[in-house]
């Protein structure tokens, strides 16, 4: 597979590597990167993996933070493969993710780092909320009404963990079009890793009408149900002492 890397300089002694998978994400990517930059110097590198975009995704990424961003261009492989590629490129001892259309809250990493210092092998999460992208008109905003209130951020964008812990669980399952994060967390639980879910808001998930799980709702529902069944079956086999 032919791939091109566009690299800008990164600080020495990295701590947190932030992986942003991006496919035709030029419209929102700058905002996502800005929400990472406000976390401060604890962010050692921002790795944007351009998943075969045909818009200005790579240019937007480098313009947003020319001294902090590494852009890796790859053929289109889907979000799981794109996240995995970002982890492979990462040099930090800690790993975090952010989807290119979502936003971190300003104290996301500060809150999670404190929790991780107390429990180094934990998967540290927080709360998430949905919001409708401000540029949408009233009709679209009514149709795409977000879920009310906050919910546990059991998604890749809510996670902070040590690189060695991520590697213990293994990569996201690139064969899954949806549900790759649910599958990853299920495997982590199966290995006895604990989730620490903070009460504070750490992630804002943008609804804009082109989100994969919204525009492919029927396929997503079917795949999530199939994944849930597979997880339950695996749990039953484990309890029965059968090979998984």
- For residue 155, the domain's CATH number is 3.90.550.10
Residue 58 covered by a domain: yes
Count of Cβ atoms closer than 10 Å to residue 151 Cβ? 15
Q: Can you tell me the distance from the alpha carbon of 110 to that of 30, in angstroms, rounded to the nearest whole number?
A: 21
DSSP letter at 175? T
Q: What is the pLDDT of residue 13?
A: 39
Residue 100 covered by a domain: yes
Query: Does the pLDDT value for residue 231 go beyond 70?
Result: no
Provide the number of structural domains found in the chain: 1
Q: Please indicate, yes or no, whether the overall pTM of this predicted structure exceeds 0.85.
A: no
Query: Does the pLDDT value for residue 132 go beyond 90?
Result: no
SS3 128: strand
Residue 244 covered by a domain: no
| Per-chain mean pLDDT for the chain | 86
Q: Where are the alpha helices (DSSP H) in the chain?
A: 26-37, 57-64, 79-89, 108-118, 138-143, 163-169, 180-190, 212-215, 217-239
Q: What is the pLDDT of residue 9?
A: 43
Residue 213 covered by a domain: yes
Query: Does the pLDDT value for residue 215 go beyond 50?
Result: no
Residue 128 covered by a domain: yes
Domain extent, residue 202, equals: 4-239
The band of 18, judged by pLDDT with boundaries at 50, 70 and 90, is very high
Q: What is the pLDDT of residue 12?
A: 42
Residue 105 covered by a domain: yes
Which of 10-24, 112-126, 140-154, 221-235 has the weakest average pLDDT?
221-235
Residue 226 covered by a domain: yes
The DSSP string of 181-233 is HHHHHHHHHHTTPPEEEEEEEEEEEEE-S--HHHHTHHHHHHHHHHHHHHHHH
Residue 145 covered by a domain: yes
Which of 44-58, 84-98, 169-183 has the weakest average pLDDT?
169-183
Q: What is the pLDDT of residue 139?
A: 66
Query: Does the pLDDT value for residue 142 go beyond 70?
Result: no
Instruction: For residue range 144-186, list pLDDT tens digits in order.
Output: 766 778 999 999 999 999 999 999 999 999 998 888 999 999 9
Q: Can you tell me the distance from the alpha carbon of 150 to that of 135, in angstroms, rounded to the nearest whole number?
A: 22
């Amino acid at each position: 597979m032919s791939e091109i890397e566009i690299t800008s300089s990164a600080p020495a002694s990295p701590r947190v590597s932030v992986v942003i998978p991006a496919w035709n994400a030029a419209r929102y990517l700058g905002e996502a990167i800005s929400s990472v930059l406000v976390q401060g110097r604890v962010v050692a590198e921002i790795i944007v993996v351009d998943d075969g975009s045909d818009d200005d995704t790579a240019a937007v990424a480098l313009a947003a933070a020319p001294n902090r961003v590494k852009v890796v261009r790859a053929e289109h492989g889907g979000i799981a493969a794109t996240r995995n590629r970002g982890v492979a490129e990462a040099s930090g001892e800690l790993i975090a993710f952010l989807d290119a259309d979502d936003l971190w809250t300003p104290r996301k990493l500060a809150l999670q780092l404190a929790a991780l210092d107390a429990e180094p092998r934990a998967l540290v999460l927080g709360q998430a909320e949905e919001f409708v992208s401000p540029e949408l008109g009233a009709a679209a905003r009514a149709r795409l009404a977000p879920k009310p209130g906050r919910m546990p951020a059991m998604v890749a964008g809510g996670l902070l963990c040590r690189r060695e812990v991520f590697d213990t669980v293994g990569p996201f399952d690139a064969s899954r079009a949806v549900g790759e994060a649910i599958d990853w967390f299920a495997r982590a639980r199966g290995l006895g890793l604990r989730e620490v879910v903070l009460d504070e808001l750490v992630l804002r998930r943008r609804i804009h009408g082109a989100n994969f799980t919204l525009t492919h709702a029927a396929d997503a529902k079917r795949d999530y149900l199939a994944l849930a069944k597979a997880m339950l079956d695996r749990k039953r086999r484990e309890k029965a002492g059968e090979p998984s």
